[in-house]
Structure 1
């Protein structure tokens, strides 16, 4: 009996259907098996698809490993074979000692977005897959994330006006490696994926252990999908609450009316108002701070007591039943 090839044309066509209708896309290719598979699949798909987008690829050389420049050149060689334009994007300057992976990720997306705009691409396409989704959900669960964090990665999100597409979130890494091997595609093996300094590296043995107990990558990805559904509902309910209260837009509202909303909606409205007034990214305001403040504020409202607390550059103040979110006043010199 003939063995079914990994990821046949029909499956690939379904995976890459979200690219149909776009004028141009930029594929992020590190040279590892995941992005190498995506690059090859997209190049071959574009040859048989009706009105496919123009496809280009880019490799970010973070300059963190001696091998990175050679890996980027190897991607360029593969792109020439596939007829795909390719650019190497270099993260220049001194590298941080702390939060290295986080800052490298920010630099990577910044460089990719700049490149996409230069070539007129409407979307950046990455090779994040099922195992990445599972790791992200578990990583955030272990760090006490709320529902918004447990949703993990979206198949389609916004990156500064560009679409960020992840068409392989339902595909396991094993299948992508098998695709590379079945099609004779060489790929890089990043030693940093085994570096215990990085949290995700330390997390992977736990992922394997949980899989043995039945909580495998597919189960964690299913948790992320369900969390996304809940998050979407909460976003709509928060928008409806804001339409009634105008806390974010006007910076004040009746406190009793606010606390008629579910506590999750209260926290989200307060976070949005604080972020707007304080000029902060709402996702950077710690959930624990918001939860503690909301609990204290709820007690003050119930008791008819005054309340004032500074959070993320804003002051949340309760007086005579009116809640105000204002710019935090300057601290007095000691």
Structure 2
């Protein structure tokens, strides 16, 4: 996006025209101006039946963090009832964490929105992030990094796949807040001002106040385009040169290491995150060490992101480091996430225990003996709780988790995520509906 911005009406029409097939939308509406404006813009665009294949629903997440949040959610419900839009309120129950409340609230919000989407039969969730939100996000990421080429400086993606099950799109990323509020004023619709939006304890609020004095910076579309292209090239490299061994070790053939450029760096970041069970790849300094290690002649090992990287004549092996691998108990009928790397479903009627030091015949002949021993430490061994005996194949289902993408997958990285899923024997990710 450049200096030019879209009106919310035009942005909404562009988005609706992009939808490929019948879609039931769920608008995440808090009652604030941005989300209310998104709802009104969509309602106006759909009311003349110009898009008969699109229907509209809405949901409000009450985080229960302020005393009047329940009343505000009811105000939104009344607005939706007046407009004839099906609406649900979902409340974040339970104790709230003493630290990391913003991240916890975000995770709860998307989990509850996805559940509401299932109840309402929605196939796509919409959030009302704006040009201001994008500029703030980029500015905050830039302040934490001295790498002007960092992938995060692409900002928020226009869409994110949540939990492998539903896409979340941001139709108003090119819209200014003032234009959204103009739309609301023209339609006679009010909104709720959240007091947290002026609380300077939050980094985003401080950044927003800085922009209030300096003006919103121009947003360059090139970083997003570069990130999309970089992820596509990294995906091609992995498809051509990488394979998984026993679902836990990634091997990149020597030909895949021949040009240690940004494509390889991006691919390795995703590989290390996946094998290490991390949501994010290693930081810049750690990746600098990895790339320097690969520029040297083959031989030796390096640790990074809970993984061991072994570089030899057969290429690069990435496997789980032998530390911090904790046991997990899984009740009958439940699914547990072990070591952030394997989803394990208990299909039996007994408690199952998962520990390291598993085994696989696929390790024999595919890894040097020393690496095979280390790899076993990172393989799951599933046993019955009553007698400690290994489970039969029908008693547990084990699947590799693609940690950097299985919960939140930005559309930038869809090709890279699909390549990683294929390598580790998982189904591809849900394609976006636009």
TM range (shorter): 0.7 to 0.9
- Taking a change above 3 Å as real, the CA distance of residues 240 and 293 of structure 1, as seen in their structure-2 partners, is same
Q: Report whether the alignment pairs 1:297 with 2:293.
A: yes
Report the Cα distance in structure 1 between the residues aligned to 2:177 and 2:78, rounded to whole angstroms. Answer: 23
Q: CA deviation at 1:266?
A: 2.3
Q: What stretches of structure 1 of length at least 5 have no aligned partner?
A: 1-5
Indicate the residue corresponding to 2:262 in structure 1.
Answer: 264
Match of 1:323 among 316, 328, 331: 316
Indicate the residue corresponding to 2:155 in structure 1.
Answer: 152
Report the Cα distance in structure 2 between the residues aligned to 1:141 and 1:247, rounded to whole angstroms. Answer: 34
Indicate the residue corresponding to 1:314 in structure 2.
Answer: 307
Report the Cα distance in structure 2 between the residues aligned to 1:254 and 1:10, rounded to whole angstroms. Answer: 49
Report the Cα distance in structure 2 between the residues aligned to 1:9 and 1:271, rounded to whole angstroms. Answer: 39
Q: Report whether the alignment pairs 1:74 with 2:75.
A: yes
Report the Cα distance in structure 1 between the residues aligned to 2:27 and 2:286, rounded to whole angstroms. Answer: 38
- Taking a change above 3 Å as real, the CA distance of residues 8 and 42 of structure 1, as seen in their structure-2 partners, is closer
Report the Cα distance in structure 2 between the residues aligned to 1:320 and 1:289, rounded to whole angstroms. Answer: 26
Report the Cα distance in structure 2 between the residues aligned to 1:231 and 1:116, rounded to whole angstroms. Answer: 30
Stretch moving more, 8-17 or 126-135: 8-17
Q: CA deviation at 1:43?
A: 1.7
Structure 2 counterpart SS, 1:251: strand
State the 4+ residue runs in structure 1 displaced beyond 4 angstroms. 6-12, 247-250
- Taking a change above 3 Å as real, the CA distance of residues 171 and 10 of structure 1, as seen in their structure-2 partners, is closer
Structure 2 counterpart SS, 1:95: coil
Aligned 8 A contact 2:23 2:54 in 1 = yes
Stretch moving more, 98-107 or 290-299: 290-299
The normalised TM-score by structure 1 is: 0.84
Structure 2 counterpart SS, 1:89: strand
Report the Cα distance in structure 2 between the residues aligned to 1:19 and 1:38, rounded to whole angstroms. Answer: 16
- Taking a change above 3 Å as real, the CA distance of residues 44 and 19 of structure 1, as seen in their structure-2 partners, is farther
Q: What stretches of structure 2 of length at least 5 have no aligned partner?
A: 1-5, 326-434
Q: Report whether the alignment pairs 1:53 with 2:46.
A: no
Report the Cα distance in structure 2 between the residues aligned to 1:291 and 1:57, rounded to whole angstroms. Answer: 42
Stretch moving more, 128-137 or 285-294: 285-294
Aligned 8 A contact 1:18 1:167 in 2 = no
Q: Report whether the alignment pairs 1:171 with 2:175.
A: yes
Q: Report whether the alignment pairs 1:193 with 2:193.
A: no
Structure 1 counterpart SS, 2:265: helix
Report the Cα distance in structure 2 between the residues aligned to 1:182 and 1:266, rounded to whole angstroms. Answer: 51
Higher helix share: 1
Higher strand share: 2
The aligned length equals: 313
Report the Cα distance in structure 2 between the residues aligned to 1:154 and 1:327, rounded to whole angstroms. Answer: 30
Indicate the residue corresponding to 1:111 in structure 2.
Answer: 112
Report the Cα distance in structure 2 between the residues aligned to 1:8 and 1:142, rounded to whole angstroms. Answer: 29
Cα distance per residue 1:94-131 (max 9 Å; x no partner): 11122211221111111101111222211001111111
Q: CA deviation at 1:295?
A: 4.0
Aligned 8 A contact 1:20 1:52 in 2 = no
Aligned 8 A contact 2:290 2:302 in 1 = no
Correspondences of 1:1-334 after superposition (within 5 Å): 7=7, 12-19=12-19, 21-48=21-48, 49-144=50-145, 147-159=150-162, 160-211=164-215, 216-217=216-217, 219-220=218-219, 223=220, 225-246=221-242, 251-254=250-253, 257-281=255-279, 284-298=280-294, 301-302=296-297, 306-319=299-312, 322-330=315-323
Aligned 8 A contact 1:28 1:124 in 2 = yes
Aligned 8 A contact 2:300 2:312 in 1 = yes
Aligned 8 A contact 1:19 1:52 in 2 = no
